[in-house]
Copies of this chain bind each other. A is one copy, B any other.
């Protein structure tokens, strides 16, 4: 895609008519598949390629969007929230991560950032969300360390991992119920903490709302929050932050 200034210079030099230029300026940097408009230029614009949210899309739709992205030059295509059944029904070859429910087409990238992202969970039930975060971060070029089942009700399990936490570049704290993990980690470390509330719990956990609100009100500074069960968003933001460090 050429820049606006380039276009204007071509007009000035007569290489392009004003009509052509106007057309170029309006040219859509996306493919229009009718049911969807995959964004071919996200890589340029945001440094991270377009990701397909698999929930509610048919295997055929996913295949078509994946194809259009690969053809558009994107090297790696992540497909999130895709069940094992749906992944199996794709004609595109994908590597599938079953706990994370993520499929990936194209090239698996090498780590491209120096730092390490730590993904911590309060309990065993938080694993699917934690893995969505961890695999997303890995596929966006990050080293990832997993520290699972270290909920605050058995503080020694968390403190035993203090070294890993202290050496992280970014930490993703994944927890349901009362979500206290984010505050405790936030108070221990000097790096950004991204809190992911999960829908783990029952009764007054309100499917993750309690954890979300608790994380929002963390008494520890340096904690920011993403949507309930949004492992992908946490992994994506953590990757952005981790890449700032080179």
* Alpha-carbon distance between A39 and B187 when the two chains are bound, in angstroms: 11
Tell me whether B152 and A222 are in contact (CB under 8 A).
no
* Alpha-carbon distance between A47 and B166 when the two chains are bound, in angstroms: 12
Q: Which residues of B contact A184 (CB under 8 A)?
A: 152, 155, 180, 184
Tell me whether A217 and B178 are in contact (CB under 8 A).
yes
Asked if A213 meets B216 with Cβ closer than 8 Å, knowing A184-B155, A241-B192, the reply is: no
Total A residues in contact with B, Cβ cutoff 8 Å = 108
* Alpha-carbon distance between A190 and B47 when the two chains are bound, in angstroms: 6
Most chain B beta-carbon contacts within 10 A, residue among A22, A178, A240: A178
Asked if A156 meets B29 with Cβ closer than 8 Å, knowing A204-B217, A204-B228, A215-B178, the reply is: yes
Cβ proximity bits A223-246 to B, threshold 8 Å, 1 near / 0 not: 111111110111011001110111
* Alpha-carbon distance between A196 and B200 when the two chains are bound, in angstroms: 20
Q: Which residues of B contact A25 (CB under 8 A)?
A: 4
Tell me whether A18 and B28 are in contact (CB under 8 A).
no
Which residues of A84-133 are within 8 A (CB) of B?
Answer: 115, 122-125, 127
Tell me whether B11 and A190 are in contact (CB under 8 A).
no
Q: Which residues of B contact A227 (CB under 8 A)?
A: 202-205, 216-217
Which residues of A34-53 are within 8 A (CB) of B?
Answer: 34-37, 39, 41-42, 45-48, 51
* Alpha-carbon distance between A230 and B216 when the two chains are bound, in angstroms: 10
Q: Which residues of B contact A186 (CB under 8 A)?
A: 153
Q: Which of B37, B125, B179, B234 contacts A149 (CB 8 A)?
A: B37
Cβ proximity bits A18-33 to B, threshold 8 Å, 1 near / 0 not: 1001100110111000
18 contacts between A and B (CB under 8 A): A8-B21, A46-B187, A46-B189, A122-B219, A153-B186, A153-B220, A155-B184, A177-B217, A178-B178, A178-B179, A179-B214, A180-B184, A180-B219, A197-B203, A202-B230, A203-B227, A241-B241, A244-B244
| A binding-site residues for B, Cβ under 8 Å | 4-5, 8-9, 11-12, 14, 17-18, 21-22, 25-26, 28-30, 34-37, 39, 41-42, 45-48, 51, 55-57, 61, 115, 122-125, 127, 148-157, 160, 169, 177-180, 183-184, 186-192, 194, 197, 199-230, 232-234, 236-237, 240-242, 244-246
